[in-house]
Chain A
Amino acid sequence: MLEKLLGGGKLEKKAITKIQEYLKTLCAATECLKETLLQESFEKTYCIENLEREADSLKREIIGIIYEGAFLPYIRPNLCNFIEIIEKAFDHMKVCAFEYRYILNSDLYGLTYKNIEEECLRIAHINVEMCQILIKSFKALWTKDNIREKNLAIRILEKKVDEIKLELTEKIRNCNLCKITNYWEGKIMSDFVDSLVSVSDVIEDASDYLYLLDLSLR
Chain B
Amino acid sequence: MGKVAKDIMNKKLETISADATVYDAIERLIDKRIRSLLVLPKNHDDSYGVVTVRNIIFKVLAKNLDPHKIKIGDIASKPVLCVPQDTPLEKILEIMHSHNIARIFITDENKKIIGVASFFDVLHNVLIEQAKK
The chain A residues found within 8 Å of chain B, CB to CB, are 129, 132-133, 136-137, 149-150, 152-154, 156-157, 160, 163, 167
Contact = CB atoms under 8 A, between A and B. Distances in A.
B130 A149 contact: yes
A152 B127 contact: yes
B128 A157 contact: yes
Given A163-B12, A167-B12, A136 B132 contact: yes
Contacts, number: 29
SS class of chain B's interface: helix, strand, loop or mixed?
helix
Interface in B78-133: 124, 127-128, 130-133
**Residue among B124, B127, B131, B132 with the most chain A CB within 10 A?**
B131
B132 A156 contact: no
Interface residues of B, number: 8
A153 B127 contact: yes
Contacts of A136: 131-133
Contacts of A157: 128
Contacts of A167: 12
Contacts of B124: 156, 160
Top 4 A-B pairs ranked by shortest CB distance?
A: A153-B131, A150-B131, A153-B128, A156-B124
B128 A133 contact: yes
B12 A153 contact: no
